[in-house]
């Protein structure tokens, strides 16, 4: 079903919590129209372009309904009082990882976006929330949100309608695909099914390596980050 874009957020990259680190996770709500380019929203930045941003992770969408669940688990955390806690660019009620599918093409404003992958959470969520295993909690819960690539540039604004205009892979929700990426077991048949999909290059490399090595990579560097 179509839904309203409740909040649009962008942020500038600044020094973060650990020596040498940088992040734009602390995004702020924006009003009025924003340009949408192949690299994301005008005025938005990423702190580490090796793992964030780029054409396949141009815009991050996080379901606002997850906030109530997080508050029940974490308590009334101050970050959960307004959209932007997870560094998202788009905040809505209505779509979740279970209802959005890989490759969904979405019109919002005059732009057309395509769901490119789910989020693989990293240690910066631990530091942002002050919860040492927050990134692992996000991963295990499946409440990761998802990324878009930009198919048609344009403009968007809070209050615009989001509409799925094409669904290419109805059997592969973001939740289902992420469950494969976050599985500690190597199921070769399921991985081969995933590799038949138009995966983002980083996810394809990850699954190719699992097939080749018959083992799952070490998640600790991503989830725990550099030691202080």
pLDDT digits (tens, 9 = 90+) for 42-77: 999 988 777 778 999 999 999 999 999 999 999 999
| Amino acid 128: pLDDT | 97
Across residues 138-149, what is the average pLDDT? 98
Is the predicted pLDDT of residue 147 greater than 80, yes or no?
yes
pLDDT digits (tens, 9 = 90+) for 3-28: 999 999 999 999 999 999 999 999 99
139 three-class SS: helix
The token duo for 165 is: 């205009």
Is the distance from CB of 121 to CB of 97 less than 8 angstroms? no
Q: What is the gyration radius of the CA atoms in the chain, in angstroms?
A: 17
DSSP 82-141: STTTT--SEEESS--TTT-BTT-EEEETTEEEEEEEE----THHHHHHT-TTHHHHHHHH
pLDDT digits (tens, 9 = 90+) for 172-222: 999 999 999 999 999 999 999 999 999 999 999 999 999 999 999 999 999
| Amino acid 41: pLDDT | 98
| Amino acid 50: pLDDT | 76
| Amino acid 68: pLDDT | 97
| Amino acid 222: pLDDT | 95
Place of tokens 């962008």: 10
The total of other beta-carbon atoms located within 10 Å of residue 160's CB is 18
Across residues 155-182, what is the average pLDDT? 98
Across residues 145-168, what is the average pLDDT? 98
pLDDT digits (tens, 9 = 90+) for 108-122: 999 999 999 999 999
Percent of the chain scored above 90 by pLDDT? 93
Is the distance from CB of 174 to CB of 62 less than 8 angstroms? no
Q: Which run of H or E residues covers position 135?
A: helix 134-141
Give the DSSP letter of residue 55: G
Angle, helix 201-213 to helix 188-195, in steps of 10 degrees: 150
| Amino acid 169: pLDDT | 98
Q: How confident is the model at residue 225 (pLDDT cuts 50, 70, 90)?
A: very high
| Amino acid 228: pLDDT | 65
């Amino acid at each position: 079903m179509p839904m309203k874009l409740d909040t649009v957020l962008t942020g500038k990259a600044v020094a973060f919590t650990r020596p040498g680190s940088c992040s734009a996770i602390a995004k702020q709500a924006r009003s009025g129209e924003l340009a949408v380019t192949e690299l994301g929203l005008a005025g938005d930045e990423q702190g580490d372009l090796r793992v964030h941003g780029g054409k396949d992770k141009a815009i991050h969408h996080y379901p606002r309904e997850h906030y109530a669940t997080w508050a029940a688990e974490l308590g009334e955390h101050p970050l959960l009082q307004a959209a932007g806690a997870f560094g998202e660019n788009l905040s809505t009620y209505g779509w979740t990882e279970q209802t959005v599918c890989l490759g969904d093409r979405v019109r919002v404003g005059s732009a057309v976006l395509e769901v490119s992958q789910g989020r693989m959470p990293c240690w910066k969520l631990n530091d942002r929330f002050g919860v040492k295993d927050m990134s692992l909690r996000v991963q295990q819960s499946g409440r990761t949100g998802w990324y878009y690539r930009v198919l048609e540039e344009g403009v968007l604004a809070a209050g615009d309608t989001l509409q799925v205009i094409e669904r290419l892979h109805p059997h592969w929700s973001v939740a289902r695909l992420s469950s494969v990426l976050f599985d500690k077991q190597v199921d070769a048949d399921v991985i081969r099914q995933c590799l038949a999909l138009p995966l983002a290059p980083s996810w394809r490399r990850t699954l190719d390596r699992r097939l080749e090595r018959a083992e799952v990579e070490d998640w600790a560097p991503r989830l725990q980050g550099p030691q202080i």
